[in-house]
């Protein structure tokens, strides 16, 4: 069991590394292309596409597949693959029902943009709904790739698809600016088709050429649902766990996209303000996309396959618990330091970043304030992702059901604060409400983890608190860079801006040195996982 856990950790570390490195490459390319698009289309168009239509797309996907993913990633799902595949194909039917219902609501019940400035809105609704349903055709293959640790595949497929969508969007915006929403529709549909085709092409080729007898799919027909004589169509235990996560999914989606639902349903800010908010949100969430989300996925995969659901800590293999607790402790310390770095430097460099990214339209007005608060939100996200990854992997089905009721309360509180703060403070109110939401969820995860380990010697949550020296250096860096921004940035010429950047660079070097010596155990553990990953990769190549 311990060997399996170590192997899973090495694979999870490899997965996280590939996710972060390749996501940085592809996302930075997308980031640059989006900066170009921002200068050629209106804020209103951005608000409609990136908030209204993207919310339709993401809601359909989340409701249709999130519960199935969480259930099928669990260790209990390592066998009976035909039943698992049958269950995963239910996502397509669920996505179709959900998509059609939401599309009808989006067209006939929500405020329709002015057709003179934003034409073809209904066409956009149809295409984004179709895109979500088509993407679900690859869901069984996605889950197989994750569970069987095809660590590179997800990032390569999604990275190529996102890159292709971005390039196509730029080309269409340049040569067919009069198309409006149709430009984004073509790009979104192309993304989905490429995503699905790449997954099917890879696995069909793998089945035909690999000769891997342990691989659960023996021929192309096994990808699709079918009856297995002598067995039930699907695993009832897994289906029940899926249903528990499904009920939770509605509340979690509200907590994840709550501000966009408030914007869409209550019209607290107009489409132009929604466009600016979306730009800031995308910029602020770069670290989450590059680092925290890949780490969260890999952490959940590791914990789900290391911990036995429903088994008390004292009855689980000690070596596995030692490893799981150490991973949780050091991972919490790692993400907190990254999040703290973003929060500290984000305060003094938000204005400069927005000016370089989108010009005066973004750097003047509420943009810098929005981005500063979003950096604080990212700090909270960094901790929440890891703590919830552990909690969801350790929870029993009954625990998940109880958490669903708590999510109902969290959602109500969050929606109220989002609506109230947006009315009083405008766009900043959405970020403040998100901060409150994530803080409450962190407290819940801490409470659950403390109870989980209460009768043991393990104290993994201490990883959240860095050393006093680290906190002091970060505080000094915050003060120094804030003074630097006031004196040198951002309307005093390019030389002053470069000096401001240089001061931040020096502070960053000092922080790095301090963290290395003050948090040496954490650094050593992370380095050891990297070395283990390199050795495993080398051995695999030799074989």
Label residue 130 by pLDDT band (50, 70, 90): very high
Q: Which pLDDT score is estimated for 183?
A: 94
* Residue 358: both structure tokens together: 């989108």
Q: Which pLDDT score is estimated for 74?
A: 63
Quickly count: other Cβ atoms within 10 Å of residue 56's Cβ: 23
Label residue 121 by pLDDT band (50, 70, 90): very high
> CB–CB of 92/137 below 8 Å?
yes
Best CA proximity match to 13, nearest among 542, 539, 536, 541: 536
Q: Once rounded to an integer, what is the mean pLDDT over residues 189-193?
A: 97
Q: Once rounded to an integer, what is the mean pLDDT over residues 364-376?
A: 88
> CB–CB of 338/381 below 8 Å?
no
Residue 474 has pLDDT above 70, yes or no: yes
Q: Which pLDDT score is estimated for 537?
A: 45
Tell me which of 185-199, 235-249, 465-479, 500-514 is least confident. Answer: 235-249
Residue 1 has pLDDT above 80, yes or no: no
Q: Which pLDDT score is estimated for 76?
A: 44
* C-alpha–C-alpha distance, residues 430 and 221, integer Å: 47
* C-alpha–C-alpha distance, residues 175 and 286, integer Å: 29
Q: Which pLDDT score is estimated for 77?
A: 41
3-state helix, strand, coil in the chain (%, to 5): 85, 0, 15
Chain-centre distance of CA 42, in angstroms? Answer: 27
Start-to-end CA distance of the chain, whole Å, equals 24
Q: Once rounded to an integer, what is the mean pLDDT over residues 214-236?
A: 83
> CB–CB of 303/389 below 8 Å?
yes
Q: Once rounded to an integer, what is the mean pLDDT over residues 194-217?
A: 91
Q: Once rounded to an integer, what is the mean pLDDT over residues 489-494?
A: 78
Q: What percent of the chain has pLDDT over 90?
A: 37
* C-alpha–C-alpha distance, residues 307 and 5, integer Å: 9
Q: Which helix (H) or strand (E) holds 307?
A: none
Q: Once rounded to an integer, what is the mean pLDDT over residues 302-308?
A: 82
pTM for the model stands at 0.75
Label residue 398 by pLDDT band (50, 70, 90): confident
Q: Which pLDDT score is estimated for 235?
A: 78
Q: What is the DSSP letter of 115?
A: T
Q: Which pLDDT score is estimated for 477?
A: 96
The sign of the torsion formed by the CA atoms of 146, 151, 154, 157 equals negative
Residue 322 has pLDDT above 80, yes or no: yes
Q: What is the DSSP letter of 53?
A: I
Q: What angle do CA 368, 55, 150 make, to 5 degrees?
A: 95
* C-alpha–C-alpha distance, residues 250 and 414, integer Å: 14
Q: What average pLDDT does the structure give for the chain?
A: 85
Residue 97 has pLDDT above 90, yes or no: yes
Q: Which pLDDT score is estimated for 23?
A: 58
Q: Phi, psi (5° rounding) for residue 418?
A: -60, -45
Place of tokens 């670290």: 287
Best CA proximity match to 34, nearest among 310, 275, 316: 275
Contacts of 246 by beta carbon, 8 Å cutoff, 6+ apart: 67
Q: Which pLDDT score is estimated for 31?
A: 66
Coil, strand or helix at 119: coil
Q: What percent of the chain has pLDDT over 70?
A: 89
Q: Which pLDDT score is estimated for 7?
A: 58
Per-residue pLDDT of 76-94, as tens digits, reads 444 578 888 999 999 999 9
Best CA proximity match to 301, nearest among 36, 6, 3, 9: 9
Chain-centre distance of CA 446, in angstroms? Answer: 21
User: Which ranges of 74-152 would DSSP assign to H, the alpha helix?
Assistant: 81-88, 90-108, 121-135, 139-147
Chain-centre distance of CA 3, in angstroms? Answer: 29
Best CA proximity match to 151, nearest among 324, 3, 320, 297: 297
* Residue 429: both structure tokens together: 């109110």
Q: Once rounded to an integer, what is the mean pLDDT over residues 66-76?
A: 77
Label residue 542 by pLDDT band (50, 70, 90): very low
* Residue 540: both structure tokens together: 């695999």
Contacts of 476 by beta carbon, 8 Å cutoff, 6+ apart: 507
Residue 15 has pLDDT above 90, yes or no: no
Q: Rounded to whole angstroms, what are the CA distances from 286 to 31, 301, 311, 315, 519?
A: 9, 22, 37, 40, 25
């Amino acid at each position: 069991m311990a060997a399996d856990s170590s192997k899973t950790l090495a694979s999870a570390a490899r997965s996280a590394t590939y996710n972060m490195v390749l996501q940085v490459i592809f996302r930075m390319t997308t980031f640059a292309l989006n900066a170009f698009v921002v200068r050629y289309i209106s804020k209103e168009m951005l608000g409609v596409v990136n908030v209204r239509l993207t919310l339709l797309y993401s809601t359909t996907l989340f409701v249709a597949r999130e519960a199935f993913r969480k259930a099928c990633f669990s260790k209990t799902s390592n066998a009976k693959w035909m039943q698992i595949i049958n269950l995963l194909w239910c996502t397509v039917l669920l996505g179709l029902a959900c998509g059609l219902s939401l599309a009808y609501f989006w067209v006939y019940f929500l405020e329709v943009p002015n057709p003179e400035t934003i034409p073809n809105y209904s066409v956009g609704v149809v295409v984004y709904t179709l895109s979500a349903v088509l993407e679900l055709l690859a869901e069984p293959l996605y889950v197989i790739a994750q569970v069987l640790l095809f660590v590179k595949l997800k990032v390569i497929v999604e990275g190529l698809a996102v890159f292709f969508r971005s390039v196509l969007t730029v080309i269409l915006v340049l040569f067919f600016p009069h198309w409006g929403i149709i430009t984004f529709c073509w790009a979104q549909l192309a993304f989905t088709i490429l995503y699905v085709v790449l997954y099917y092409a890879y696995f069909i080729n793998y089945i035909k050429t690999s000769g891997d007898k342990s691989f659960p799919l023996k021929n192309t027909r096994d990808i699709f649902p079918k009856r297995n004589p002598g067995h039930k169509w699907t695993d009832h235990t897994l289906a029940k766990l899926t249903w528990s996560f499904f009920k939770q999914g509605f509340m979690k989606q509200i907590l994840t996209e709550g501000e966009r639902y408030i914007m869409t349903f209550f019209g607290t800010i107009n489409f132009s303000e929604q466009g600016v908010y979306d730009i800031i949100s995308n910029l602020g969430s770069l670290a989450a996309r590059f680092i925290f989300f890949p780490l969260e996925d890999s952490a959940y995969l590791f914990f789900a396959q290391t911990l036995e659901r429903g088994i008390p800590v004292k009855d689980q293999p000690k070596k596995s618990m030692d490893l799981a607790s150490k991973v949780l402790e050091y991972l919490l310390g790692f993400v907190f330091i990254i999040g703290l770095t973003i929060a500290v430097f984000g305060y003094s460099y938000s204005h400069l970043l927005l000016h370089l990214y989108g010009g005066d339209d973004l750097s003047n007005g509420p943009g810098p304030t929005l981005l500063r608060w979003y950096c604080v939100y990212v700090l909270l996200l960094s901790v929440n992702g890891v703590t919830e990854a552990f909690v969801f992997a350790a929870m029993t089905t009954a625990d998940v059901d109880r958490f669903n009721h708590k999510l109902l309360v969290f959602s109500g509180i969050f929606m109220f604060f989002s609506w109230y703060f947006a009315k009083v403070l405008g766009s900043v109110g959405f970020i403040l409400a998100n901060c409150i939401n994530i803080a409450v969820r962190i407290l819940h995860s801490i409470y659950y983890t403390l109870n989980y380990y209460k009768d043991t010697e393990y104290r993994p949550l201490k990883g959240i608190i860095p050393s006093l020296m680290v906190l002091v250096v970060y505080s000094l860096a915050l003060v120094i860079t804030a003074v630097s921004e006031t004196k040198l940035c951002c309307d005093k010429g390019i030389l002053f801006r470069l000096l401001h950047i240089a001061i931040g660079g020096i502070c960053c070097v000092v922080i790095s040195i301090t963290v290395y010596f003050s948090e040496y155990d954490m650094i050593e553990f992370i380095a050891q996982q990297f070395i283990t990953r390199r050795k495993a990769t080398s051995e695999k190549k030799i074989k």
